Each structure stands twice: as structure tokens, then as C-alpha cells.
Structure 1
Amino acid sequence: MRLRTTSTQRTYRYVRLSIVGATLVLAVSIGLEVAGRGALSSLSAAFYTPAGHLFVGSLCAIALALLVLSGRSVEQGLLDLAAVFALVVALVPTPITDASCEGGAVCVPAAAIPGVVNSGISVASLSLVVLVAAAVLARTQGSAGWGTVVTLVAIALTVAGFVTWALVDFPTFLRGAHNVAAVGFFSVIGVVAAVSAWRPQRAPRRFRVLYAVVAVGILGALCALVAVLVAGGAATVTVAGVPAVFLGESVVVTLFAVFWLVQTVELWNAPDPTLRA
């Protein structure tokens, strides 16, 4: 017998699957680079390779999908914030060793800076429009609860923080914004997975176990990555010949895809397929 579904159900299925698909495209494009030249210093270094266009495009697609998902839960508010971090990760490249860097330090190459400025101004301007529109819609639709207010304020403060950083000290912004945003993005995803795991009434036990594994894996890998970065070993620490940062980021991205695959399966037939009520 053919099961009837609503257009809303199908839309949410496709949005969640698009996140998994965008992650898969990113993995394949970077995998092709690794097959041809060996492991990169980090996944983010793919920005400077032929996979760079898909790196940026995949992250922007993921950010849009996170914003499209509807709901007024804690998880949804966190994912809206994650979308902002994803855009920064996509549009502000990671520093690398380049001839244009002074004193042999790592930096964002001079050739990439005009693109960062253009993208930054465009996205910051759009963010302002989106925030105002979201506030107006929430008020007119009667959905402007505390959760909505907190989410909008958190996003506004995050955007304002990055913009202020860029205006006050642009060189430092170029050196650090990508890593700060990447840690912020995956930390939020880890917290969302943890919330999904430790709210027994929200999901069957088998899904909670998977969410717990994802949460522990993401947050544990992030702690290890931050330790490597703080210790200044990003360019030297390897595991079985593979750069530790590349390996850690690969684990985190894989767990990110697993999280969304599990979400898709869990909520496939939900009559109201918002993230959480």
C-alpha cells in the first residue's frame, strides 16, 4: 500500500538529505585531491585546491539548509547559530604558508583577501536584512517567544562580533576567524546531538545512543584539535603520517553527516517534521 505524505514532510526530508548530500559532495571532492596529492594539512586547506569551489558551495548550502529547517526548540535556535558559523568557515579561508606571508608565517594569501572583503560585506548586509525580516515575521505571526528572541539576539551578537573584529583588527581576523568559526560550528552541532541524546522523551533509545556517540565523538575530537592548535603543532603533528588536524576534521565531518542521517531516519514519518516541538 502506498503511504500518503504531505508536501511539508517531503520538504523536510529533502532538506535534511540535502545536508547529508552536501557533506558527501564535500568529502568526495576533497577525497579526489587527497588521492592525487596526498593528505592536505587540513580539510579547510581544500579552499586553495580545485576542490575549493565545492568547499565553499557545500558549506553555503549547509548553512541555508540549517536556516530553512523550522521549529522553535533549543536545537533549532542552536542550528540557526551554526548556520552563521558555517558561512564564516566557507568565506574566510584558513591561513596557509604562502609567498605573500611576511616572515614565513602562515596567512591568508593576498590574492584571496579581496574575495573575503566582498563576501564579508555581502553576507553581513544580508544578515542584517534577515534578522530584521525574522523579527517582523515572528511578531506578525505571533511566534515571538523567548526562544525566538534569544536566537535572534545570539545571531546578532555573533555577526556583530565578527564584523567588529574585522573592522578593529583585520589582519588578526584573517588569521583567526576561520578557526574560531569552525570550532563554534562543530561545538554547536555537538551540543545539539547531546541534547537529542539526553532527552529520553524525545527519541527512541536506539537513536539516543547514536546521538550520544556523535556528541561525544565531535566534542572529544574538537578538544583534541584545539589542543593541537593551541600547542602550535598544526603543521607538525601527524598520526600514521596523516596531519592530525586533517584527521580530526575528517572525524568531525563524518560524525556531522551521521547526525543528519540519523535525524532524517528518525523523523522520516513524523506528522509534524519540525526539528523538535
Structure 2
Amino acid sequence: MATPDTSGPHLLLCGPHRRHTADMGEPAGYSIKTYRYLRMAMVAMVVLLGAALVIEWSKTNPHCLQTSISAYYYTPVQAIFVGALITIGVCMVVLKGNTEPEDILLNVAGVLAPGVAFVPTPSPGSCRSVPMVLGDTTANIANNMLALFIVGGPCLAVTLVFVTRARLSRADSNPMYLVGFAVVAAIFGGGILWFFVDRGGFDGHAHYAAAVVMFVCIVAVVLLNAEQFRRKQHRAEHHRAPTTKPMPANRYSAIAIAMVVVPLVMWAWRALFGWGHVVLWIEGSLITLFAIFWIIQTQELWNEGLRGDGQELPRSQATPSPLRSRSLE
């Protein structure tokens, strides 16, 4: 479970976080509990979206599927599709990554998630349980994206104030915070420019652009965690007493390999034999694997906070993880 951090502000949330330390005076560790709930909320949103998709599919011909998860925007799943993506995006921005590169990747993915939700795929597909009632998609995009830009702009400005103040006061000299801010600001500014200069191109292609970059960031986060956990294993093994149990296997590596190999195999199958639903299954596989990754990471960091940062809760405040067996506590 990633904890708040005072070393720099977290993007788009209009405020800095406080690191949860061992001498924390809050009763029962309310701060870290909040972050645990945020992490579990992300998994709940994935399950919610999956349930909505299955319910919609059960009401159609078993062989009738939309060509992508995004195409279910044009079915009764729409409200949950949009709401789940926005919630997941906010959670990814709020939560602190174990390292600054991981934090930047989570921020970028979180910033792009509302774009994936607000700008639907241009192809509505043909499989749905009820006749399609298509509203004015262009008007929806214009309204919702403009609202996102209006809110996001001031949040970026406030974030810049926090970054600048931290550097001027020498409370933080890590240049990665400036890099992270610059990356998100560039994506946000580029989106605004694209929106106003080429509205037709934005409406037709922004969904794909945001979705591809978001998934790339998610895969990169898992790859980073696989390497971080390998280093943690190495350090633990070096200092492990003969009587203590070794660390568990690096499950992040298995997930990272699957997130790279599975889409490549599916895309190769499509190229060789044709497969109209390849995007649907690639999206579904990556989302499922990311949910599994998030559960495993939440279990690993339930009490210790950020991996390898030395910030571990004292036993008096530690709470057993409901995702972990008693033998591992």
C-alpha cells in the first residue's frame, strides 16, 4: 500500500501528501487506511466494469460481442464504463508510486483515463441487448472534455506552486518531480491544443491515442515493480538469518511477462488467421492482469508503505491484510 509523501506534490490533486511515519499520531492509522481503501476501490471498479460487461453479454446472443470494451460505451454499460474509468484514473493519480518513474507513469495513466471515457471509440459496433439510442456524441465530447480542461488547468497550476515552493525552500531537490510535472503538463496542454485546433481529428482519434498510452504506462508500472521486487528479494536474502523464511517468489515478473506476451500472441493470431475481437480480448487481458497486479502489490505493501523506503508501521499500528494468510503476517 503506497503511502502519502511530503517530498513532493502529487499531480492534479491540488495538494501535497504527508508521509505516514512510525510516530504518526492519528488514531488507528487513518491515513494509511484511507490509502488502503483507495487501492481496493480500484480493484472494485474493475470488477464492477467486468460485471456490467458480463450482464450485457448475457442478454445478447452468446456469439455476439462488441469488438472492444470501449465499444460497450454504446450499450447499457455506458454509465459504468465512464464512471469506472474516471474513478480508476483518480485513484492512480492520488496514490504514490514506489519510485518517481512509477509515480509519473501512474499519473500519466490516471490523467488519460478520463479521456478514454469521455471520447468514445468512433465504431459503435453491432452487438447490444437493446436498440442503440445514439445521442449527439460530438456534443458530449465537447461538453465533457471542456469541463475536464477547466478543472485540470487550475489543478496543474496549484501543483506547480507546490513544486516551486518545495524547490525554493530546498525541502525537495529531486528533479524527477519537475520531470513528472512537465510530462503531465505536456500531455494536458497537447490535448487542449488538439481539441481546439482539430476537433474532427480529436473526436476520431483521441480515444485510441489516450488508450494506447494509458495501457503502455500500466504495463511499464508492472515491469518496474518486477525489477524493484527482484532487488528487494536480493537485499532480503543477503540479510536473511538462517532461521527465517525466504521471501515469496516474484509474482510481478510473471504478470509482467504475461502483459507483454499475451497481447503479442493475440495480435499475431489476428495477423495470421484474422480475429475481429482481438482488441476486446487484449483489453480484457491487460485489465485483468493489472487488477491481479494491484491486489498483489496491495498485499505486499499493506503495512510497510512504500517498498524499500524504510517507512514501516510499528506492530502496534499494523493491521493484518485481509488479502494475506495468517502464516504470512
Q: Above 0.5 in TM-score? A: yes
- RMSD value, Cα: 2.8
Q: Which residue of 124, 131, 137 maps to 2:162?
A: 137
Displacement of 1:222:
4.6
Is structure 2 residue 303 aligned with structure 1 residue 269?
yes
Q: Which residue of 37, 49, 52 maps to 2:75?
A: 49
1:236-247 equivalences under 5 Å are 237-238=275-276, 243-247=277-281
Q: TM-score normalised to the size of structure 2?
A: 0.70
SS in 2 for 1:162: helix
Tell me if the contact between 1:225 and 1:248 (Cα under 8 Å) persists in the aligned partners: yes
Tell me if the contact between 2:66 and 2:125 (Cα under 8 Å) persists in the aligned partners: no
Count of residue correspondences: 255
Whole-angstrom CA distance in 2 between matches of 1:139 and 1:163: 24
Residue of structure 1 in register with 2:284 after alignment: 250
1:223/1:114 CA distance change after superposition, 3 Å: farther
Is structure 2 residue 210 aligned with structure 1 residue 181?
yes
Higher helix share: 1
Residue of structure 1 in register with 2:153 after alignment: 128
SS in 2 for 1:15: helix
The amino acid of 1:257's aligned partner reads: A
Residue of structure 2 in register with 1:95 after alignment: 122
SS in 1 for 2:160: helix
Give per-residue Cα distances to partners, 1:134-157, cap 9 Å, x unaligned. 121233343463111011100011
Q: Which residue of 148, 152, 157 maps to 2:181?
A: 152
> Which is worse superposed, 8-17 or 150-159?
8-17
Q: Which residue of 99, 108, 113 maps to 1:81?
A: 108
The amino acid of 1:215's aligned partner reads: A
Residue of structure 2 in register with 1:63 after alignment: 89
Q: Which residue of 228, 231, 244 maps to 1:201?
A: 231
Is structure 2 residue 46 aligned with structure 1 residue 16?
no
Q: TM-score normalised to the size of structure 1?
A: 0.82
Residue of structure 2 in register with 1:34 after alignment: 57
Answer with 1 or 2: which has the greater Rg. 2
Tell me if the contact between 1:82 and 1:189 (Cα under 8 Å) persists in the aligned partners: yes
Displacement of 1:7:
1.5
Tell me if the contact between 1:23 and 1:253 (Cα under 8 Å) persists in the aligned partners: yes
Residue of structure 2 in register with 1:102 after alignment: none
The amino acid of 2:217's aligned partner reads: V
Whole-angstrom CA distance in 1 between matches of 2:267 and 2:190: 21
Query: Gaps spanning 5+ residues in structure 2: where?
Result: 1-26, 127-133, 237-245, 310-329
Displacement of 1:206:
6.7
Give per-residue Cα distances to partners, 1:76-117, cap 9 Å, x unaligned. 111011111111111110111589xxxxxxxxx771111111
Residue of structure 1 in register with 2:320 after alignment: none
Fraction of identical pairs, as percent: 28
Displacement of 1:12:
1.6
